[in-house]
Amino acid sequence: MISDYFLDQLAADFARARLDVLEARLREEQDTPAHRTAVAHCRPRVDAVLDRYLKHLKAKAHGVGCPR
């Protein structure tokens, strides 16, 4: 069973990561190495949130409790 806390935390983490990417992409419209670097640094954070979600789904499929 998915805990409400886990889902709330996951949603909040994803929202923050999404906003960070959006802000970096807006700055990237002025194409500079610093702006491209900012976008590149945001993407792993989004990947980490998605990885947590997939890890949870895998654990759920095997009947294991919610990973933290």
For the stretch 25-43, pLDDT in tens is 888 778 888 888 888 888 8
Q: What is the 3-state secondary structure (H, E, C) of the chain?
A: CCCHHHHHHHHHHHHHHHHHHHHHHHHHCCCCHHHHHHHHHHHHHHHHHHHHHHHHHHHHHCCCCCCC
Residue 51 has a pLDDT of 92
Whether 42 and 21 have beta carbons less than 8 Å apart is answered as yes
pLDDT at 1 over 60: no
Q: Tell me, what's the pLDDT at 3?
A: 74
**Is pLDDT at 50 greater than 80 in this prediction?**
yes
Q: For residue 68, is pLDDT > 80?
A: no
Is pTM beyond 0.85 here?
Answer: no
